[in-house]
Amino acid sequence: MSIQEERQSTIEAMVDDERGVLAADESHPTIAKRFAQIGVENTEENRRAYRTMLLTTPDLGKYISGVILFEETLGQKDDTGTPLPEVAAAQGIVPGVKVDKGKGPLSGSSGDLITCGLDGLVDRLAVYKEQGARFAKWREVYPISEHNPTPLGRKANAEMLARYAAVCQEMGFVPIVEPEVLMDGDHDIERCAEVTEHVLHAVFHALHQHHVSLEHMILKPNMVVAGKDRDRATPEQVAEATIRVLRRSVPVAVPSINFLSGGQGPEEATANLNAINQMRGNSPWQLTISYGRALQQPALHAWQGKAENVAAAQQALLKRARLNSLAHQGRYDPSME
C-alpha cells in the first residue's frame, strides 16, 4: 500500500456521519490532576488500568472511530496481554498518538505560546507506526488578551502545525491539526470569533505553503464561545458564531472538523455540538467531536480506581459517546440525559 493509500484508508476509517474521536492522550501531569479528583495515585499501572477500561468498553466502536493515545499507552497491554492499540482496532477504532511535547512561551512575543516536539519526530513516528498508530495529533494554543495572539504568535504557531502535518503525511499518518483558542479570560463571543477566524486563516495558509493534503487531515478547533469568566453563550449563539467562522476559514477539501471541548462540561459540549449540526445547512464537512474530559469525566468519577466499578464507568462512557453521536446528527435532546 502506498503512503497516499495508507492515509486515504485511515481517513475512510475515521470519518463518517455518526462517530467521533476520543481524546485519551493526557500527559502525566494532566492525568495526575484527573486522578487527584478521585483519590487515585498517578502510577503507570493505574494509568494502564484506566485506559484499558476505556478501550474495552463494549460497543464503543459504534460511536467512536478513533482514539488519541499518549505514547506510553501505545506500549501498554490489557489484562489479557493484548496491546491496547490492538484492543482499540478490534472495535473498529483507529489508534492514534499525541506527538507534541508541550508548550512554553514564544520568545519575542509576550503572552503568546509555542509547542515543542518537531525534533526527532520522523523517528518517533516510525516507532509509533510499528506499535499500531495510524494518525497523530499536535496542539497549539492561543491565549486571548487585548494584544494576544499577536501576528507573530499566529504565524509561528501555524508554521509549527504545518511542519508537523507535512512530516506526518510523508510517514503515512493522518495529522489532526489542533489550533486551540483558549477559553481563559472574560472576552465575549465576538472576540473569540475574531481571533479564531484569524488563527484558522493563518493555519491554512501555512498548510498550503507546506503542501499538506487537506483531504488527508482532520481539523480539531475550538468552538466559538465566550471566555469562561463571562456568562455562557447559548448553544444557538455558539452554533451561529462557529459556523460563520468555519465557512469563512476552512476549505471544503477538509473532510472532518472534530471539535475539542476546551473546558466545557459534558452536557454543555454535547448541546453545543447538537446546535451546530442543526444549524449547519449545506456545510461540506463532518462536524463531530474529539473530546477528552467532556467524554471521560463521568466515566472517571464512576470508576474511582476500583475494579468493581469498571462496568458502571464503561456505561457512563458509552452513554456520553452515544449522546455525542446523536448530536453529530443533530438529533440530541437534553431530556436524553
Any idea which residues carry the catalytic annotation? 178, 220
Angle at 270 between CA 269 and CA 272, to 5 degrees: 65
d(CA 78, CA 81): 5
Q: How far apart are CA 311 and CA 59, in angstroms?
A: 13
Task: Identify which of 159, 164, 197 has the alpha carbon closest to the alpha carbon of residue 181.
Answer: 197
Distances (CA, A) of 27 to 22, 32, 131, 281: 15, 8, 19, 37
| Grid cell listed for 23 | 481524546
Q: What are the cell numbers at 286? A: 463532518
64 phi and psi angles, rounded to 5 deg: -120, 125
Question: Which of 214, 269, 272 lies closest to 242 in space, CA to CA?
Answer: 272
By CB atoms closer than 10 A (0-12, 13-18, 19+), residue 305 is middle
What letters, b where the CB count within 10 A reaches 16 and e where it falls short, cover 70-96?
Answer: bbbbbebebeeeebbbebbbebebbbb
φ, ψ of residue 310 to 5 degrees: the values are -60, -45
Q: How many CB atoms lie within 10 A of CB 122?
A: 12
d(CA 24, CA 88): 12
Q: How far apart are CA 190 and CA 196, in angstroms?
A: 10
All three cell numbers of 127, joined, read 516507532
Q: Any idea which residue has 488500568 for its cell?
A: 49
